[in-house]
Amino acid sequence: MAIETRPVQADVAATVKNEPNVPLQDSPNEGARKLVNLHGQLINDPAQMNAAASAYGRRRPFLLSEALATEVKTGFMPGRAKSTLRGAIKTSLLTRICG
């Protein structure tokens, strides 16, 4: 049984296009642009979370604090959200470009 191999150069050319990364808000993909404000769907009220997330958050109150929610964008992604991240506590990491 022979193993089919392709030239490495072709594999590299297929994945690296020498194009710079584009910030999400400037992406031509509408779905990617919607991710910029995904943190707006996060909730920090344990009463609005499912039982498991609420219990987890009450044992770790710093996760649902207003300061962390504001600065780092931490909260619970509700099950009604149109995201694969729904049903769990999430943290957004914001990248700031200094120039």
Amino acid sitting at position 66: E
Six token digits for residue 94: 């914001």
Q: Does 94 have pLDDT greater than 80?
A: no
Task: Quote the pLDDT of residue 59.
Answer: 93
Is there a contact between 73 and 39 (Cβ–Cβ < 8 Å)?
A: yes
84: number of Cβ within 10 Å: 7
Task: Quote the pLDDT of residue 55.
Answer: 92
38: number of Cβ within 10 Å: 17
Is there a contact between 60 and 87 (Cβ–Cβ < 8 Å)?
A: no
Q: What is the pTM of this model?
A: 0.59
Q: Which residue has the tokens 């044992």?
A: 59
Q: What is the pLDDT of residues 42-82, one digit of tens each?
A: 888 989 988 998 999 899 988 888 888 888 888 888 877 66
